[in-house]
Amino acid sequence: MALSTPSLLSCRSVCLLNPIRFAPSTRRFGARPFRWNPCRPNRKFFSVMASESEVFTSPEIAKSFDFASEERIYSWWEAQGYFKPSFDRGADPFVIPMPPPNVTGSLHMGHAMFVTLEDIMVRYNRMKGRPTLWIPGTDHAGIATQLVVEKMLASEGIKRAELGREEFTKRVWEWKEKYGGTITNQIRRLGASCDWTREHFTLDEQLSREHYWYNIKSGREPSHFRQFGSCSVVTIRFTKIDSVIALALAVVLALWMEALTSSCVLATRSTIEECRNDEAVVEAFVRLHEKGLIYQGSYMVNWSPNLQTAVSDLEVEYSEEPGTLFYIKYRVAGGSRDDFLTIATTRPETLFGDTAIAVNPEDERYAKYIGRQAIVPLTFGRHVPIIADRYVDKEFGTGVLKISPGHDHNDYHIARKLGLPILNVMNKDGTLNEVAGLYCGLDRFEARKKVWSDLEEVGLAVKKESHVLRVPRSQRGGEVIEPLVSKQWFVTMEPLAEKALHAVEKGQLTILPERFEKTYNHWLTNIKDWCISRQLWWGHRIPVWYIVGKDCEEEYIVARSAEEALLKAHEKYGKSVEIYQDPDVLDTWFSSALWPFSTLGWPDVCAEDFKKFYPTTILETGHDILFFWVARMVMMGIEFTGNAPFSYVYLHGLIRDSQGRKMSKTLGNVVDPIDTIKEYGTDALRFTLSLGTAGQDLNLSTERLISNKALTNKLWNAGKFILQNLPNRSDVSAWEQLLAYKFDTEETLLELPLPECWVVSELHELIDIVTTSYDKFFFGDAGREIYDFFWGDFADWYIEASKTRFYHSWSNSVASVAQGVLLYVFENILILLHPFMPFVTEELWQIRAIRNARAEYSVEPAKRISASIVASTDVLDYISSEKQVLALLSRLDLQHVHFVESPPDNAKQSVHLVAGEGLEAYIPLADMVDISAELQRLSKRLSKMQSEYDALVARLNSPSFIEKAPEEVVRGVREKASNAEEKITLTKNRLAFLQSTVSSSV
């Protein structure tokens, strides 16, 4: 048995009670139903925590939890098969597809975030008894992987073109087999409890299943075939079956069909055509094309000259960089020397592609030129029209815009709208082509310098000035991306987007946090067609074949295999034709869009996993890929299966450094999760990452990691204390009595002494709160509630109280009850905390008002202080019997703890604490601290804090700091100032209180 398995949770009613708030005569009890069962697990499952076990280490023999044991525990989980879904309880399955990281990737904090959150969901639902499936896998990452292998080959002096496509692809597979497991091993290191027996790769055999299709045609529709549709062709597919057997079965079906139709006058002999479906991705392409949703055309794309391929918007990163704004004269045709328009451009090399000059129709400066012609510089007199368009910003530059539709996204859309021609002046490698005339062959950046130099020579260069540019760079190669018109394959998105919008509108899909619905709706409402082709060798080859000697744009065949394509070509063009496949591959995001259902067996809708686990339950990922991946999965899922691929989308934020800055190699603030794990442990890292709020960025600080590492140690020490105070293993009768205790009914709670009754009641309330938080995906809230209860209520209070049962001559029965409560509460803490901190809880499973006042006034831990407890008579009668417990917990002087019904005479010189309704405490300040010394200490501290605060305010009041400093730095200073102001207020209040006590005592 392990915490990783189900069977711990079921519906049960438990009582809630906070005895400190009610006197015995007025206390009310009420049962409340819980979804989490704070039950006693079978003691046999604790056998594995014995010291002789090779897997687990007992707290009795280890000083602290050893992080090195995490990998050993994980291997044990996996070997036991705990990560596989179990249908023993017959509940609805909980299914989550893992966002597949790039096969080239190495673990970063973004991965650690999604693994942590998804594993929390998975472990929680598995412990509830739901059949739970977390589908792992990696993405073939077309551009990134090809780039990595090309660099590797280059180090050997080999170019991709020299190898040829087949040999290069072979080398990539070899690289993948050698290095591709790095990221998945690192994900294991984080404790991911996914079913690795179902691991997928977007190019592996499981997503490239071979199918055999047979079209059995008849002259008319036999009545027995009406269930297959209204057409006269019945399509049968055989999956995972020998081709000979498939052919034999198809023949039998054809003969059966012929027999059924033999009595019909118009019946003709049936024929069989064999074809193959190579992969789920190909099936999706074919179906979309058959519906008219995939087309080929020349449109504006993001082009990477170095990679020689189109790239998606997601693979383009914009950076602000220093650049130049060039001012150029365009003479007006037929005008005088004074008739010219000055344009401002950052890319003078594209002027050879100008097809118009545009001004704003309301700009009076240029109204007289609208409708005339301008002469494009350095083109030997080529004319372009001067047009009016409201898109032109009168305030930018000179208010005159050159329209270069072949090299600017905005210009392209204007040209499409107005019907302007589109000129491309650039080759695929970033050099200028023949349209540029004398500049043909020059690199685009070299051409920029040359063009400006020549413009100066002919007197058409007005001036140039510094200008900050928003430069699009390739995420993979770092080069400047070129907007370029290129022939590509596209998906028509509008009809798909309409269904995806409807899914959210009708509540079939819920996006968390809810505010991201607006982002989702905005993107889908304004969606553009999707460029799905990439000019690469590594990836899913586009299932399109062309006819040798025919126009590629007019004559092509879409098929599921080369065999089917050739068969179609023979039918249409004759037996002598030859075909060749499109050299491009599909965008990686195309296969990723099919991930939730292709990993479960689609297009075989009869596959067991597809029937059991689709649609999935939830998709968890970063909010930054809501458009590029999540929305596309929703569209494809609805299109191909009729259902949204998941019911919920949970979006997390980015991980930033302690100052709120984005982690980057440039800033040198990247934190390696593996290094973090080695220093603080996996559990501490996971707990730290889990405490964020959905959709919001999380600042990762060393202080938080240290604090949560301390939580691991605190858990370990609590387990050690409990084990040391349990009965000897050979004491059978003591263990029988211990295991017979039940703490989940009203009667059993009423029989417990005050400390035990209180801690069990608090536990039951915690279970209710945490379960609600888990079910609402409020993981940060759940983690904080567990932390506060364990550290404050259990470790600092009840464990201390229980020591009075063991060390101060209490009866054996009272000690036995304390043992039972310790075990019961601690076991349930481990259950609640396990999804967050699986390793230390697994290891252990196999086995503060007055105090806060002491801390505030820096009271020495060993110092005993007096106190007056004020309450009504019935409450005093109830709690006075626990005087020894109270004294031990609060380090009070047992001889000077007084129970009274009214405030003491020295109340004004005491710290006043309200423990609950009708229960107060007065602690003489003189017992706790030297008031004179404390006044001096606080005054000195206040002076220092005020100086620090004034410095922060001065920075914030400085215009140069606000204008020049990065936004995250300014935000960090504001937060520090706010915190400092709050601390100053608290210190002033404490000083005022101390000064008042001095005054009242005079």
Q: What's the average model confidence in pLDDT over 285-301?
A: 95
Q: pLDDT tier at 857 (50, 70, 90 boundaries)?
A: low
Strand intervals (E) in 458-543? 461-474, 482-491, 510-512, 530-531, 533-534
Written as six digits, the tokens of 941 are: 């501290």
Most distant CA pair in the chain, distance: 122
Q: Is 599 helix (H, G, I), strand (E, B) or coil?
A: coil
Q: Could you read off the pLDDT of 160-214 as tens digits, one per residue?
A: 989 999 999 999 999 998 888 899 999 999 999 999 999 999 987 555 544 444 4
Q: pLDDT tier at 221 (50, 70, 90 boundaries)?
A: very low
Q: What's the average model confidence in pLDDT over 261-273?
A: 35
DSSP secondary structure string, 214-247?
EEEE-SS--GGGGGG-SSSEEEEEEESS-HHHHH
d(CA 483, CA 409): 7
Single-letter residue type at 341: L
Q: What's the average model confidence in pLDDT over 381-408?
A: 93
> Which of 19-33, 163-177, 692-706, 774-788 has the least mean pLDDT?
19-33
What pLDDT shows up at residue 28? 28
Terminal Cα distance for the chain, rounded: 67
Written as six digits, the tokens of 158 are: 């080999």
Size of the chain, expressed as the number of residues it contains: 1002
CATH of 316-478, one of 3.90.740.10, 3.40.50.360, 1.20.1630.10, 1.20.1050.10: 3.90.740.10
Q: With 0-12 CB in 10 A as exposed, 13-18 as middle and 19+ as buried, what is 638?
A: buried
> Which of 45-49, 79-83, 123-127 has the least mean pLDDT?
45-49
DSSP state of 528: -
What pLDDT shows up at residue 220? 40
Residue 256 above 80 pLDDT? Answer: no
d(CA 174, CA 154): 16
Q: Is 253 helix (H, G, I), strand (E, B) or coil?
A: helix
What pLDDT shows up at residue 886? 67
Do the Cβ atoms of 565 and 580 come closer than 8 Å? no
Q: In which element (H, E) is residue 571 found?
A: helix 562-573
Residue 237 above 70 pLDDT? Answer: no
Q: In which element (H, E) is residue 558 found?
A: strand 556-558
Q: How far is CA 783 from the centre of its chain?
A: 18
What pLDDT shows up at residue 887? 67
What pLDDT shows up at residue 33? 33
Backbone phi and psi for residue 188, each to the nearest 5 degrees, phi listed first: -60, -40
Residue 20 above 50 pLDDT? Answer: no
Q: In which element (H, E) is residue 934 found?
A: helix 931-956
Q: pLDDT tier at 669 (50, 70, 90 boundaries)?
A: confident
What pLDDT shows up at residue 330? 97
Q: What's the average model confidence in pLDDT over 672-700?
A: 91
A 10 A CB-CB count for 157 gives 7
Q: What's the average model confidence in pLDDT over 46-53?
A: 34
Instruction: Collect all residues with Cβ–Cβ distance below 8 Å to 705 and sequence separation of at least 6.
Output: 676, 679, 680, 684, 685, 688
Do the Cβ atoms of 426 and 482 come closer than 8 Å? yes
d(CA 973, CA 953): 9
DSSP state of 193: -
What pLDDT shows up at residue 995? 81
CA torsion sign for 362, 366, 367, 373 is negative
CATH classification code of 931-1001: 1.10.287.380
What pLDDT shows up at residue 808? 67
What pLDDT shows up at residue 666? 65
d(CA 159, CA 176): 19
What pLDDT shows up at residue 775? 94
Where do the structural domains in the chain lie, given as residue ranges? 211-277, 316-478, 931-1001
Backbone phi and psi for residue 233, each to the nearest 5 degrees, phi listed first: -115, 120
Phi-psi region of 287 (alpha: psi -120 to 50; beta: other; left: phi over 0): alpha
Q: What's the average model confidence in pLDDT over 585-605?
A: 94
What pLDDT shows up at residue 254? 55
Residue that has been written with the tokens 């686990």 in this structure: 613
Whole-prediction pTM: 0.74
Give me the residues paired with residue 357 across strands. 386, 402
What pLDDT shows up at residue 27? 30
Q: Which long-range contacts (CB under 8 A, 24 or more apart) does 87-90 make?
A: 87/131, 88/6, 88/129, 89/6, 89/129, 89/130, 89/131
Give me the residues paired with residue 465 across strands. 325
Q: Is 872 helix (H, G, I), strand (E, B) or coil?
A: coil
High-pLDDT (> 90) share of the chain, %: 54
Q: pLDDT tier at 56 (50, 70, 90 boundaries)?
A: low
DSSP secondary structure string, 702-757?
HHHHHHHHHHHHHHHHHHHHHHHTSPPTT-HHHHHHHHH---SSHHHHHTS-HHHH
Instruction: Collect all residues with Cβ–Cβ distance below 8 Å to 626 and sequence separation of at least 6.
Output: 516, 519, 520, 523, 649, 651
Instruction: Collect all residues with Cβ–Cβ distance below 8 Å to 739 and sequence separation of at least 6.
Output: 40, 43
Single-letter residue type at 377: P
Q: What's the average model confidence in pLDDT over 275-286?
A: 74
d(CA 474, CA 463): 30
What pLDDT shows up at residue 37? 46
Q: What's the average model confidence in pLDDT over 278-295?
A: 92
DSSP state of 207: G
Helix, strand, coil percent content, the chain, rounded in steps of 5: 45, 20, 35
> Could you give the C-alpha distances from 229 to 212, 224, 234, 235, 602, in angstroms and in order?
20, 11, 8, 10, 21
Do the Cβ atoms of 656 and 670 come closer than 8 Å? no
Residue 257 above 60 pLDDT? Answer: no
Residue 958 above 60 pLDDT? Answer: yes
Q: What's the average model confidence in pLDDT over 497-507?
A: 96
A 10 A CB-CB count for 218 gives 23
Written as six digits, the tokens of 896 are: 């000077």
Q: What's the average model confidence in pLDDT over 64-87?
A: 90
Residue closest to 278 by CA, chosen among 617, 541, 490: 541
Residue 39 above 70 pLDDT? Answer: no
Q: What's the average model confidence in pLDDT over 469-477?
A: 88
* 16-39 core/surface letters (b: 16 or more CB in 10 A; e: else): bbebbbbbeeeeeeeeeebebbbb
CA torsion sign for 899, 903, 909, 914 is positive
Residue 17 above 60 pLDDT? Answer: no
Written as six digits, the tokens of 990 are: 């404490």
> Which of 459-463, 589-593, 636-640, 884-888 has the least mean pLDDT?
884-888
Q: pLDDT tier at 14 (50, 70, 90 boundaries)?
A: very low
Residue closest to 723 by CA, chosen among 811, 554, 846: 846
Question: What is the chain's mean pLDDT, rounded?
Answer: 83
Backbone phi and psi for residue 556, each to the nearest 5 degrees, phi listed first: -150, 165
Q: pLDDT tier at 350 (50, 70, 90 boundaries)?
A: very high
d(CA 793, CA 758): 9
Residue 675 above 60 pLDDT? Answer: yes
**Alpha-helical runs (H) found in 673-701:** 673-680, 682-690
Do the Cβ atoms of 432 and 441 come closer than 8 Å? yes
* 45-55 core/surface letters (b: 16 or more CB in 10 A; e: else): eeebbeeeeeb
Instruction: Collect all residues with Cβ–Cβ distance below 8 Å to 292 and sequence separation of at least 6.
Output: 492
Q: What radius of gyration, in Å, describes the C-alpha atoms of the chain?
A: 37
Residue 920 above 90 pLDDT? Answer: no
Q: pLDDT tier at 923 (50, 70, 90 boundaries)?
A: confident
Q: pLDDT tier at 654 (50, 70, 90 boundaries)?
A: confident
What pLDDT shows up at residue 604? 92
Do the Cβ atoms of 714 and 833 come closer than 8 Å? no
What pLDDT shows up at residue 891? 66
d(CA 199, CA 194): 9
CA angle in degrees (0–180, nearest 5) for 7-11-17: 115
Which has the higher per-residue pLDDT, 698 or 100? Answer: 100
Q: How far is CA 146 from the centre of its chain?
A: 25
d(CA 756, CA 822): 9
What pLDDT shows up at residue 918? 66
A 10 A CB-CB count for 934 gives 17
Q: What's the average model confidence in pLDDT over 890-900?
A: 74
Residue 678 above 60 pLDDT? Answer: yes
Q: In which element (H, E) is residue 401 found?
A: strand 400-403
What pLDDT shows up at residue 219? 43
Backbone phi and psi for residue 644, each to the nearest 5 degrees, phi listed first: -60, 140
d(CA 560, CA 374): 52
> Could you give the C-alpha distances from 267 to 229, 271, 391, in angstroms and in order?
18, 12, 65
> Which of 81-85, 210-214, 362-366, 733-737 has the least mean pLDDT?
210-214
Q: Could you read off the pLDDT of 790-803 as tens digits, one per residue?
A: 999 999 999 998 98
> Could you give the C-alpha distances from 173 to 136, 143, 863, in angstroms and in order?
20, 14, 69
